[in-house]
Amino acid sequence: MALFERIMILTGAGLSAESGLSTFRDKGGIWEKHRIEDVATPEAFQRDPERVLTFYNTRRGSHGDVQPNAAHRALARLEAEYPGKVLTVTQNVDPLHEMAGTKNLIHMHGEIAKSLCMHCGSRAPWETDLAVDMVCAACDMSGGIRPDVVWFGEMPYRMGEIYAALADCDLFISIGTSGNVYPAAGFVAEARSAGAHTVELNLEPSSGISMFDEAIHGKATEVVPAYVERLLTT
């Protein structure tokens, strides 16, 4: 692994699929059952907050007792074996990376374990179902509590740090993402222009496959531990 000094990992819903969480654009995925414009845009929340909160309360509920899988654990192992050299950026809103032990982590689409007040911007752990008439503990106002999740049309979180890391990485690994949604889908091009070696680990070729130097297709719980083992033993 002495080959690489600054590793950036991008993960998507496919990483959590084998932990039992639905992906978005696979067969049976979330967007087959719900329209994005009904449940995952700021306009949807303005129009019908009840419907949006019900969608996310149900998704939060499905996260109940899910556990990290072998792929999450392999990524935590890579970070532990090379402290200070690995940054994980996830599009996922689940807590499975943290539960597996990953520390240097950016949730660019937010976290379903947190709620956000649109009036004052304060965040709180999301323990009970969110409701429209919920009063914010910080500003005492109601009607503004939403999931701390980035919706279509909103700017993902901590993009400055992400682009700085992309400009400096020498290995970029994309795992479990279809490469359909920007800005994450554009990260591989940024990494390539920084001269990084780019690798896709996914069930099948993503939309961005032509941008990758290397691709290993298969289930994350198989291809990710194998790739990490290879990195750690070369």
Q: State which residue, 137 or 159, has the beta carbon closest to Zn ion.
A: 137
Q: Quick check: is 109 catalytic? A: yes
Pairing of strands 171-175, 7-11: parallel
Residue 227 sits in the site that holds ligand APR (CB under 6 A): no
**One-letter amino acid identity for 184?**
A
Stretch that binds ligand APR, among 50-58, 126-134, 165-173, 197-205 (CB under 6 A): 197-205
Give the separation between CA 60 and CA 228, rounded to whole angstroms: 30
Question: Quick one: tokens of 35?
Answer: 């329209």
In the set 72, 109, 197, 217, the catalytic residue is 109
Pairing of strands 86-90, 7-11: parallel
Give the separation between CA 166 and CA 162, rounded to whole angstroms: 6
Residue 203 sits in the site that holds ligand APR (CB under 6 A): yes
The Cβ-side half-sphere exposure at 24, using a 13 Å CA radius, reads: 14
Q: State which residue, 40 or 231, has the beta carbon closest to ligand NAD.
A: 40
Question: Is 222 annotated to bind ligand?
Answer: no
To the nearest whole angstrom, how small is the minimum distance from the Cβ of residue 92 to ligand APR? 6
Stretch that binds ligand APR, among 136-144, 164-172, 198-206, 225-233 (CB under 6 A): 198-206
